[in-house]
Structure 1
Amino acid sequence: MAQNAKISGLTDELIHTILKFEPAANKQAYKHAKEIASRGLRGHQYARTNQFDVTARFSGLDEKFRVKSRDDLADALQTRLQKLEGYTNKFKPDLLSLLLLLADRPLENTQVEALELLRSASPPPPLTWSEILQEDPYSDDDIWKDIDYAGDSSGDEKTPKKRGKLQSPPSTNFDDDDTYDPESCVTSPDRHLVTKLEEVQFWKSIADENDADVDITELQAIRETLFMLAGLRTSLYQADKQQHNIRLNFKYSLNHARNATVEHLLSQFLGIGKGVERLRQWSKKASASPLIQTFEAAVRKRLLHYDHSLSTLQQRYLIPDAIISVSLLELLNDIQTLSTPILRLARVVADIEPQLLINPFSHLEALFEQTTLAQMTLEDNIFKYMSEIFFECLQTYLKPIRQWMEAGELGSDDETFFVFASDTSSDSASLWHDRYVLRRDGQSNLRSPSFLQPAAKKIFNTGKSVVFLKELGIYDTDSHALAREPHLDHETVCGAGDNVPLSPFPELFQAAFETWIRSKYSVASTVLRQHIFDQGGLIRTLVIFETLYLGKNGAVFEEFATAIFERMDAGQRGWNDRYVLTELARGVFGTILPASDAEKVVVRSSRAKAPGTSVKGLAAISIDYAIPWSIQNIIQRSSIPIYQDIFTFLMQIYRVKHLLQRVRPTRDQSTHRLQFQLFYKLQHRLTWFADIIRSYLTETVIFFTTQDMGAVIEKAEDIDEMSQIHIKYVVKLQERALLSKDVKPIYKAVIEMLDLGVLFAETVAADSKDGAAQSKIKKKPARRKSTIAILAEDDVSDEDEDAKSGGEDASKAAKRSTQRSPKEVLQMVDREFGRLLPFITAGLRSVGRVGAEPLWEQLADRLEWEGKKDRV
């Protein structure tokens, strides 16, 4: 009721403040306003914060911190929560809930060390009179003396006319007084101290006559042992400087232990000391290699830490804080624990010392292996010890890598880096493949640490990308300066905790090193890739190559081929003039290509032996296209001959088609010379074969292979990957187009089939000539052979093989073939077609099974359809 009355009074005051009128003046309006205000106030009564929910959330945070190996953060939180339990305040749950809502990823963003900044400096203790009197005591006789103020006055002083001896300036450190006794500052020496020091120096003791050994205490043996481990001269352990060896001095013994026991115990210390001493001697050697110098500096740093730990042990025995037991056994346990990491390092140095001259980064591989082994054996201290040394030494090896990936520069005479300039004066067109190479040894193994070899290719390509961009003039020197380089150290890779990580160390390192490389790789590769695709015009160049060499536009390619064939059939001597053919190609292909691209087309030709009698003569014609040097690093010169071979193959097929389409024998002469049935049979079969081969090349091989290449090359990250994709593309084209060495017999059989088409066309054309032309040919046999005679020389029938095996001269065989009639030549063409077609199909099926190329079996099925039955 009191709460409601209080709320009612506050509501009346609120209404009166807002409405500014008396309730008695307008009771109805006042009542209505009070009802509205009461409903609004009743609707905004929020519940208090659940203190149990807050406590549960803090408990969840504590558990999360401990699961994530952040016990230090959990302990700090628990300590402050315990302190808050002593404070009682009704708003404490609300304040704690507010802190939870304001928290932003406390596990990642909280540093326990920052809590030290919140502690206020403790005020100095109040100064007491006892402290003042202790520093500046006074005597009872002097405190009540009157002060002579005239003594400090300089008014009555007279300046002496002449100075005699130089007077020393008055002392400013203390006040001269006759009552001060200087001897009070001198401490009286202990007369027995010298005697004690001489007794401690056991090495000056003289052995008894009856006993040849000198008895020493166990504390003295401990001190000598610690001196020996620190590399100092001792009497208990004697060092041989010439042989760099340490041995026991059996002159001294412990009077409370057996000599054999003591010697066995000291020999274990001696073994540890020898290992550490060898490491000390190695660290004193000077090396010219920066990698080895860094390793030596890391070893010296560990030796310094080891000596500091030995000094701490000495301090425990010299100035003990509490009562301790003096025991060599206990010291042995401490020394073994302390020396385990340094001895493991000494063993690594002893193993790799002979290899450092040959392999200057063998210590990196050894440290990497030791770190991995320590993780597998759960040796926490060894793992962290070796890992820290490894990352310290790795920073020196990363310097040439960083310089190569950021600036594309190599150090002078840097034999430790696996990249070197093979030919600095090489052409820009072969910059990517010839100017820089990877350094390899005699066994063709990469000269780099084994753990870096998976990323060596990406490092190599990044530097080449930078050099490429410099050649293009678009390299930004500030791009790498703005990019933040991730750290590559023990804390970044393995975490800040002391426990061994669960993931294998090689995987952790490879992931961190991949991140480190990506920070430099992405900048150069992205810029270069964008330039190659946008300004360089890689895709446009590939389309032009497909148009010129692979017959992408069949109508234009056939128009160009037909123009050449017409010049060949016209019998002109200059039909293969390269200037005329170049203008012809630019005019034909200029209808579908831009003028700037068409001007780059050049046709070259060589003298053909028999251009009109065989399709092989078309190999004398080749076509070139001038591409920028940047694209030449992707479309290499070695790929151009494969394009030329496919271009020649297509021209040969179009040549046969061109001849067969123009074969039209006259009816008057064909009735008594040619059989219509045989003529149309051969024309159909040869035309069908040429169409199948052309369709296979253009619609199957070139189309699908180019489509697969285009889909992959757009996803390539750098030039190396683009070049490899293009090389695989042209090799796949060569293989599928029957131009590789593995299927060379099949290709020869296909060319023989095309030659049969030429022979057929030439035979029909020769038979269709008028009598005057035939007589003219007979009168001049020495200048020009008949077409039938020339083509019959390539006849590989059984009769010719028998003639060759019988030793018949080739000229005689040619002379005998001139006597054949057109009908006999056509019959020979029919027999050869029936012999070659099964050979081609059987060969395609056999190599298709071995090479797992389904396109060959598909071609065999298409060719076998007509060859299964001799259709007339």
Structure 2
Amino acid sequence: MAQNVRIAALTDELIQAIVGFNPETNKRAYKHARDIAAKGLRAHQYNRTNQFEVQRAFEGLDEKFRVQNRDDLANALRSRLNELKGVRNKWIPEYLSLLLQLADRPTENSEVAALELLRPPTPPPPLTWEEILRDDSYSDEEIWRDIDYAAESSEEEGIIKRVEKKKRKESPPSSIDEGDAYSLDSYVIPIDRQLLDDITKAQYWKAQPHAETGEIEITELQAIRETLFMLAGLRTSLYVSDTSHGNVRVNQRYTFSHAIPKTINHLLAQFATIGRDLNRLRQWTRRPSSLPLVQTFEAAVRRRLTDYDRSLASLQQEYLTPKESKAVSLLALHTSIQELSAPLLRLSQLVSDVEPQLLVNPFAHLETLFQQISLAQTTLEINIFDYFSDLFFECLQTYLKPIRKWMEAGELGSNDETFFVFENDSGSESSSLWHDRYVLRRGKGNALRSPAFLEPAAMKIFNSGKSVVFLKELGIYDDMTRSGEAEPRLDRVTVCRTAGLPLSPFSELFQAAFDGWINSKYSLASTVLRSYLFEQCGLLRVLENFHIIYLGVNGAVFQDLANAIFERMDSKRRGWNDRFLLTEMARGVFGSVLGRAATDGIIVRSVRTRTQTRSVKGLATLSIDYALPWSIANIIQRSSLPIYQQILTLLLQTYRAKYLLQALDTRAMDNLDPKHRNKSFRLRNQLLVFTDLLRSYLTETIIARGHAEMLAAMSKAADIDEMAGIHVKFLARLQEQALLSENLKMIHGAVISVLDLAVLFHDAHERRTREGGLALKQSQVHNGKKTVKTKTKPKLKKRKSIIPALVETLDDDSPTEAEEVEESEDRPSNPMPSKPPSFEGDLCTVDKELGRLLPFLRDGLRNIGRVGGEPAWEMLAERLEWGNGKAGEGALP
């Protein structure tokens, strides 16, 4: 009654809203409209489904499936909707609306393969006469044979004879007696109907579903059997598997009578999740790979899946043929499966994480396994630690093969992109074999293309292989270089040295074991090569030769070389810098201490300039080359020679300034007026002190100490790489301390300017002496007096040179004429006046520049000493302050 009253009220509102009749003014029309509305609503208690909304809903599902990469499901839905368009039925929108309301996560729970179960079986083809005649032909010869109607033979006898004749043909000889008779029923085994019924009953998947619920009831033992099959990767009825994506879901048609459906569904869903992860792992192992590292990993995973399947078979045997009473429980099985599957599930997750990286980084699984082992040790997961460590060392053996081949034979695999060493230039010279022929493979961000846990030992591996190649180039590599000791093993037992979890971190244990493995191959080759370089190639002897030639360790020999060069420069001959003469001269100087065999490798080179210069910078045009054997050239690299040349040039410039200051005639300086005489002696003394301090600083403070430290470190070096690094560091520090680096360019320029002031000071006095002698000669000629022999410049006392006479002979017989050239008026790099130079002006210039440059040097050296942390710079600054006093004061007389 209440429903009718509500419908009547709604009907009145509908009539007033649509028609607009007023029941008070037009009762008849309002009543007629009300009767029509009531008649139409009486037969329809519910509204019809909006077919357009249903159509839009299915179009939305189609788009959703395609967005979620389920094109197969979208295509299947589209084809069936198109098929429904040809069916005429007014209830189709209701059917489709019902399906939409019943849908439960169709993207996850819908499988296209399940549609094949709904397809009716294909009917057998109709039987044809050809098939009938093929099985039983009607052209038998016995049909057309005539029947013998004789009285003595009956039909039965003929049949018996034919049967006996046929038996004799088909039966083997002496098998039975011809006279015996057998019954055909005796050969038929009776059927055990109970056993057949049990087998049919066990095939629950063929059972008919319940008429009302559409479900099939199964036992817990059957569910366990299906679960174990599913976990083994087999197809089952209780679980529906997607072979393309590896998904597993529970078939909701099967129920249990003794358990709550939600509980059972939750438990079976957990089994399905485990099976899904295992299926994805199985599918990954079936994908082919061309990289040996990945193939080894796949084979190791397959072996563990096989072991897992054996464990599942053991569980099945416990339920099929139990040795003792055993409770059938899915919960107990779930506990056992969780414990059994835990390592494989972690491995499945690991494979899912590293699979996208294997194409770019083929040893990503090794790094991830190493991290997981360390994590399992930290979290005290013994089973995971043992499982992953065994897998890690099994996969590591494949990566050790190219390392072993490289370290033992110095050979690389062809196109092996997984190894971090490759041959950069096979045609490089032997002198650059160590540094240029083989290089380390690096990736993004200059990171080494090797597993992270091997990076600490990468340089040892790299240098060990290069040592073997080096020995082959020297021709001393043979089977004797191989160690007779067995190679240390690398496995979990050897590394951990204890059962269960070790106390020390796994990373440290592995690093110690791997270092032992590396040293077993590294030490022998490196020791043989090191001994050969020191004993046969004379590495220390070559370093000592460089010390003498370039660094002036033997001051007497270096002074002879410098004086010989300066004498040729001051002779003003055009061929003074002839490289052949300078080479013979240098070999003669160094021959007394180095021997002829060592001096044969000395070559002096010079760069010819258009104009002569009096600045010490002109000495930079001279350079000395020393021929090195290719084995030593791998340690003393070509890039080191320019630094040696810079230090040699600086020493020659220092010796040049002192040479010119010592060559001045002090007796001529005594004849100067008191003002110029005092200033001259003071300036000469300051310049001499500066050159002595600079020479002492270079040769004794930095070169001698640095060279001794370098030799001590070189004798302890393990391989060529370490030797070359020691030498490079020695030269780099030497260049820095000698003020020759790029960031000390201003300090070095100030030093050269002070040395040029010594040249300017010498030239000023020489010019003053020549002008005084010329004035005296002109005065004597003007007075008509006999020419008085002027005082000649006294020769500088020096020790007897050991240069061979051959050099002087070649110099005298040189095709270039020994004519004097105009002295170049090139000045040091100081501002010079535009008017002709005067003696007093030169002295003032030298005094002024000294007063400016020396404080600049002291302050600059102190500042960079504080910033750079080099105590040698502050020491030099203190020496300059002690030797020359404050700026402009002239501490020494």
Residue by residue over 1:630-671, the C-alpha shift from the partner in whole angstroms, topping out at 9 and shown as x without a partner, is: 111100111101111111111111111111111005549943
The number of aligned residues is: 675
Native 8 Å contact 1:455 1:514 kept in 2: yes
Q: Which moves more between the two structures, 193-202 or 825-834?
A: 825-834
Check 1:552–1:209 CA distance in 2 against 1; reply closer, same or farther (3 A cut).
Answer: same
Q: Which residue number corresponds to residue 114 of structure 1?
A: none
1:554 to 2:572 alignment = no
Check 1:680–1:329 CA distance in 2 against 1; reply closer, same or farther (3 A cut).
Answer: same
Out of 826, 842, 846, which is 1:790 matched to?
Answer: 826
Native 8 Å contact 2:217 2:255 kept in 1: yes
Check 1:607–1:168 CA distance in 2 against 1; reply closer, same or farther (3 A cut).
Answer: same
Q: Which residue number corresponds to residue 443 of structure 1?
A: 445
Native 8 Å contact 2:573 2:821 kept in 1: no
Native 8 Å contact 1:560 1:585 kept in 2: yes
Q: Report the AA paired with residue 604 of structure 1.
A: R
Native 8 Å contact 2:296 2:395 kept in 1: yes
What is the CA–CA distance in structure 2 between the aligned matches of 1:727 and 1:185, rounded to whole Å?
Answer: 100
Q: CA deviation at 1:612?
A: 5.1
Q: Which residue number corresponds to residue 844 of structure 1?
A: 861
TM-score by length of 2: 0.73
Aligned-partner SS, 1:285: coil
Q: CA deviation at 1:672?
A: 5.3
What is the CA–CA distance in structure 2 between the aligned matches of 1:423 and 1:412, rounded to whole Å?
Answer: 14
Q: CA deviation at 1:283?
A: 0.7
Q: CA deviation at 1:769?
A: 1.3
Q: Which residue number corresponds to residue 473 of structure 1?
A: 475
What is the CA–CA distance in structure 1 between the aligned matches of 2:562 and 2:581, rounded to whole Å?
Answer: 14
Check 1:168–1:742 CA distance in 2 against 1; reply closer, same or farther (3 A cut).
Answer: same
Native 8 Å contact 2:615 2:826 kept in 1: no
What is the CA–CA distance in structure 2 between the aligned matches of 1:365 and 1:378, rounded to whole Å?
Answer: 20
Native 8 Å contact 2:431 2:634 kept in 1: yes
What is the CA–CA distance in structure 1 between the aligned matches of 2:669 and 2:288, rounded to whole Å?
Answer: 104
Q: CA deviation at 1:411?
A: 0.5
* RMSD between aligned residues: 2.6
Q: CA deviation at 1:695?
A: 0.6
What is the CA–CA distance in structure 2 between the aligned matches of 1:241 and 1:644, rounded to whole Å?
Answer: 74
Residue by residue over 1:591-630, the C-alpha shift from the partner in whole angstroms, topping out at 9 and shown as x without a partner, is: 1112100111111111246655111101111111111101
What is the CA–CA distance in structure 2 between the aligned matches of 1:860 and 1:347, rounded to whole Å?
Answer: 67
Q: Report the AA paired with residue 795 of structure 1.
A: N
Q: Which residue number corresponds to residue 127 of structure 2?
A: none
In the TM superposition, what are the counterparts of 1:371-770 in structure 2 within 5 Å? 371-477=373-479, 479-480=481-482, 482-495=484-497, 497=499, 499-608=500-609, 611=612, 613-664=614-665, 667=668, 670-671=671-672, 675-769=676-770
Native 8 Å contact 1:842 1:860 kept in 2: yes
Native 8 Å contact 1:608 1:617 kept in 2: no
Aligned-partner SS, 1:769: helix
Residue by residue over 1:731-753, the C-alpha shift from the partner in whole angstroms, topping out at 9 and shown as x without a partner, is: 11111111112221111111110
Native 8 Å contact 1:669 1:768 kept in 2: no
Residue by residue over 1:509-545, the C-alpha shift from the partner in whole angstroms, topping out at 9 and shown as x without a partner, is: 1111111101100111010011111111110000000
Q: Which residue number corresponds to residue 128 of structure 1?
A: none
Native 8 Å contact 2:364 2:451 kept in 1: yes
Q: CA deviation at 1:238?
A: 1.3
Q: CA deviation at 1:479?
A: 3.5
Q: Which residue number corresponds to residue 101 of structure 1?
A: none
Q: Which moves more between the two structures, 661-670 or 421-430?
A: 661-670
Check 1:271–1:742 CA distance in 2 against 1; reply closer, same or farther (3 A cut).
Answer: same
Check 1:254–1:565 CA distance in 2 against 1; reply closer, same or farther (3 A cut).
Answer: same
Check 1:413–1:774 CA distance in 2 against 1; reply closer, same or farther (3 A cut).
Answer: farther
In the TM superposition, what are the counterparts of 1:35-434 in structure 2 within 5 Å? 190-434=192-436
What is the CA–CA distance in structure 2 between the aligned matches of 1:601 and 1:775, rounded to whole Å?
Answer: 48
What is the CA–CA distance in structure 2 between the aligned matches of 1:640 and 1:210, rounded to whole Å?
Answer: 98
Aligned-partner SS, 1:603: strand
1:861 to 2:878 alignment = yes
What is the CA–CA distance in structure 2 between the aligned matches of 1:776 and 1:762, rounded to whole Å?
Answer: 21
What is the CA–CA distance in structure 1 between the aligned matches of 2:776 and 2:615, rounded to whole Å?
Answer: 25
Check 1:186–1:617 CA distance in 2 against 1; reply closer, same or farther (3 A cut).
Answer: farther
Q: CA deviation at 1:821?
A: 2.1
What is the CA–CA distance in structure 2 between the aligned matches of 1:388 and 1:669, rounded to whole Å?
Answer: 94
Q: Which moves more between the two structures, 738-747 or 294-303?
A: 738-747
Aligned-partner SS, 1:671: coil
Q: Which residue number corresponds to residue 132 of structure 1?
A: none
Q: Percent identity?
A: 55
Aligned-partner SS, 2:259: coil
Check 1:187–1:503 CA distance in 2 against 1; reply closer, same or farther (3 A cut).
Answer: farther
Check 1:272–1:609 CA distance in 2 against 1; reply closer, same or farther (3 A cut).
Answer: same
Q: CA deviation at 1:168?
A: 7.4
What is the CA–CA distance in structure 2 between the aligned matches of 1:307 and 1:773, rounded to whole Å?
Answer: 115
Aligned-partner SS, 1:414: coil
Gap regions ≥5 residues in structure 1: 1-163, 172-177, 778-782, 801-812
Residue by residue over 1:471-525, the C-alpha shift from the partner in whole angstroms, topping out at 9 and shown as x without a partner, is: 001112354363311111111112362x111111111111111111011001110
What is the CA–CA distance in structure 2 between the aligned matches of 1:212 and 1:328, rounded to whole Å?
Answer: 24
Native 8 Å contact 2:461 2:518 kept in 1: yes
Residue by residue over 1:705-728, the C-alpha shift from the partner in whole angstroms, topping out at 9 and shown as x without a partner, is: 111111111000000000000000
What is the CA–CA distance in structure 2 between the aligned matches of 1:239 and 1:795, rounded to whole Å?
Answer: 92
What is the CA–CA distance in structure 2 between the aligned matches of 1:725 and 1:340, rounded to whole Å?
Answer: 53
What is the CA–CA distance in structure 2 between the aligned matches of 1:748 and 1:227, rounded to whole Å?
Answer: 87
What is the CA–CA distance in structure 1 between the aligned matches of 2:534 and 2:580, rounded to whole Å?
Answer: 33
Native 8 Å contact 2:248 2:273 kept in 1: no
Q: Report the AA paired with residue 227 of structure 2.
A: T
What is the CA–CA distance in structure 2 between the aligned matches of 1:224 and 1:668, rounded to whole Å?
Answer: 118
Q: Which residue number corresponds to residue 85 of structure 2?
A: none
What is the CA–CA distance in structure 1 between the aligned matches of 2:325 and 2:205, rounded to whole Å?
Answer: 27
Check 1:706–1:208 CA distance in 2 against 1; reply closer, same or farther (3 A cut).
Answer: same
Native 8 Å contact 2:669 2:677 kept in 1: no
Q: Which residue number corresponds to residue 845 of structure 2?
A: 828
What is the CA–CA distance in structure 2 between the aligned matches of 1:532 and 1:724, rounded to whole Å?
Answer: 16
Check 1:483–1:260 CA distance in 2 against 1; reply closer, same or farther (3 A cut).
Answer: same
Q: Which residue number corresponds to residue 890 of structure 2?
A: 870
Aligned-partner SS, 2:482: helix
Q: CA deviation at 1:678?
A: 1.3
Aligned-partner SS, 2:826: helix
Gap regions ≥5 residues in structure 2: 1-167, 779-819
Native 8 Å contact 2:605 2:622 kept in 1: yes
What is the CA–CA distance in structure 2 between the aligned matches of 1:627 and 1:169, rounded to whole Å?
Answer: 101
Q: CA deviation at 1:424?
A: 0.7
Aligned-partner SS, 1:238: strand
Native 8 Å contact 1:236 1:252 kept in 2: yes
Check 1:794–1:285 CA distance in 2 against 1; reply closer, same or farther (3 A cut).
Answer: closer
What is the CA–CA distance in structure 1 between the aligned matches of 2:672 and 2:190, rounded to whole Å?
Answer: 151
Q: CA deviation at 1:785?
A: 6.6
What is the CA–CA distance in structure 1 between the aligned matches of 2:378 and 2:335, rounded to whole Å?
Answer: 24
Q: Which residue number corresponds to residue 57 of structure 1?
A: none
Aligned-partner SS, 1:475: coil
Report which of the two structures shows the higher radius of gyration computed on alpha carbons: 2
Check 1:669–1:210 CA distance in 2 against 1; reply closer, same or farther (3 A cut).
Answer: closer
What is the CA–CA distance in structure 2 between the aligned matches of 1:716 and 1:595, rounded to whole Å?
Answer: 30
